[in-house]
């Protein structure tokens, strides 16, 4: 399944049916009187969060969603049938934005959540509604109200407990593949990851969700590289895991590049708790490891060491992430999986 996290759609709710102008005509009923029924109500356009989806790919192939109109009223006091609603099914974490792509209409964060995006028009009154002591044979009826037409944007922000950050080739995908059942693409060239990946990791009997996003480079907030469009997928995370490539010549500069992009992105992303990790330590000797860790600690504060390939230090990193995630977000691992991560 292809990954799509932004989609533009056109929606229109159903128009209400018009009221009926009708009179009762039966044998031996000289003054039957009005009996026109009301029009039916137009259908709503509803968005609903469903299980089993993690992409908006369905909205690439269909962008127009129109609810049914209500039927017109009929004689014998018969009300027209209401138009059927149309339901847009989206994954958890979808934001509904107005046409300006800034105004948030709804934030779909819970399974089963439903929001009406466009209400159907009310049906018009039939002439029976206008009968009175002074107007016993009204010949008027109301038209139904028109439906609502809107242009909206759907933006998916994955809901993960921890988010992975780093420059391209910092080892994010290797870490995710080593600690979870996720199978992201891994290669020795930049921008191997082109879309976010999710993985469930377990440590000390607890499970939590990690999101891996494409690597950032300097100027990503200006659109360089893949840009910062995927940072929205870690906005909802409780903690960020910042991986720094230990084989880099200047680990401090690499760290500053990511922090600068987080600050330029705005919001509260730069203020989230972060766990900084010096990755790929298996490629260095003891002296090089000490030098790189000291250089990184001078700018980033406390630093952990890890190798996603050999497994060294991975458990300590997972425990550091787990400590920053609140109890209400953590799930208990099945009994057979409880215990710490094993390389």
Are 158 and 54 contacting, i.e. CB atoms less than 8 angstroms apart?
yes
Known binding residue 311? Answer is: no
Chain position carrying tokens 């330029």 = 264
- The number of residues making up the chain comes to 343
The answer to whether 157 is a known ligand-binding residue is: no
Burial class (CB in 10 A: 0-12, 13-18, 19+), 315: middle
> Would the annotation count 127 as a binding residue?
no
Residue 28 assigned ligand-binding role: no
Half-sphere exposure in the Cβ direction for 45 (13 Å, CA): 20
User: Are residues 324 and 273 in contact, defined by beta-carbon separation less than 8 angstroms?
Assistant: yes
The reply to whether 281 sits in an annotated binding site is yes
Q: Count Cβ atoms below 10 Å from residue 133 Cβ, excluding itself.
A: 5
Consult the annotation and say whether 192 binds a ligand: yes
221 a known binding residue? Answer: no
168 is in an annotated binding site: yes
Q: Is 279 annotated as a binding residue?
A: yes
Question: Is residue 56 a contact partner of residue 156, using CB atoms and an 8 Å limit?
Answer: yes
- 314 annotated ligand-binding residue: no
Query: At 275, is the secondary structure helix, strand, or coil?
Result: strand
Cα R_g (the chain), whole angstroms: 29
Alpha-carbon gap, residue 124 to 120, rounded angstroms: 12
3-state secondary structure 85-96: CEEEEECCCEEE
Euclidean distance between CA atoms 325 and 1, whole angstroms: 30
158 assigned binding-site residue: no
17 is in an annotated binding site: no
By the 8 A CB rule, do 127 and 19 touch? Answer: yes
d(CA 333, CA 48) in angstroms, rounded, equals 29
**68 assigned binding-site residue:** no
59 is in an annotated binding site: no
**Is 191 within any annotated ligand binding site?**
yes
Please indicate if the annotation marks 180 as binding a ligand. Answer: no
54 annotated binding-site participant: no
243 is in an annotated binding site: no
- Cα-Cα end-to-end distance for the chain: 29
**Distance (Å, whole) CA 108 – CA 157:** 10
Q: Is 307 annotated as a binding residue?
A: yes
Residue 64 labelled as part of a binding site: no
Q: What is the Cα–Cα distance from 341 to 206, expressed in whole angstroms?
A: 10
Detail the residues annotated as belonging to a binding site for Mg(2+).
Answer: 173, 193
Detail the residues annotated as belonging to a binding site.
Answer: 166-173, 191-195, 212-215, 279-282, 307-309
Detail the residues annotated as belonging to a binding site for GTP.
Answer: 166-173, 191-195, 212-215, 279-282, 307-309
């Amino acid at each position: 399944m292809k990954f799509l996290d932004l989609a533009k759609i056109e929606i229109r709710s159903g128009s209400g049916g018009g009221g009926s102008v009708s009179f009762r005509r039966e044998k031996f009923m000289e003054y039957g009187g009005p009996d026109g029924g009301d029009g039916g109500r137009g259908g709503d356009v509803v968005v609903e969060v469903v299980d089993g989806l993690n992409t908006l790919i369905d909205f690439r192939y269909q962008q127009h969603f129109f609810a049914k109109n209500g039927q017109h009223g009929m004689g014998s006091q018969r009300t027209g049938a209401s138009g059927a609603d149309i339901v847009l099914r989206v994954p958890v974490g979808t934001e509904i934005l107005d046409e300006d792509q800034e105004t948030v209409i709804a934030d779909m964060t819970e399974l089963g959540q439903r929001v009406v995006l466009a209400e159907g028009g009310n049906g018009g009154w039939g002439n029976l509604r206008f009968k009175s002591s002074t107007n016993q044979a009204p010949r008027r009826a109301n038209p139904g109200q028109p439906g609502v037409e809107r242009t909206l944007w759907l933006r998916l922000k994955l809901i993960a407990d921890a988010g992975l950050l780093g420059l391209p080739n910092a080892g994010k995908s290797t870490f995710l593949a080593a600690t979870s059942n996720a199978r992201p693409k891994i290669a020795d060239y930049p921008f191997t990851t082109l879309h976010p990946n999710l993985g469930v990791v377990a440590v000390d009997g607890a499970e939590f969700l990690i999101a891996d996003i494409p690597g950032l480079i300097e100027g990503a907030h200006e659109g360089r590289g893949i840009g910062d469009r995927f940072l929205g997928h870690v906005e909802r995370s409780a903690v960020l895991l910042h991986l720094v490539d230990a084989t880099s010549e200047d680990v401090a500069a690499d760290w500053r590049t990511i922090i600068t992009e987080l600050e330029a992105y705005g919001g509260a992303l730069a203020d989230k708790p972060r766990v900084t990790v010096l990755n790929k330590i298996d490629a260095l000797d003891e002296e090089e490891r000490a030098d790189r860790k000291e250089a990184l600690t001078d700018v980033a504060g406390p630093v952990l060491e890890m190798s996603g390939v050999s497994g060294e230090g991975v458990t300590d990193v997972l425990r550091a992430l787990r400590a920053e995630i609140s109890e209400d977000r953590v799930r208990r691992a099945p009994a057979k999986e409880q215990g710490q991560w094993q390389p």
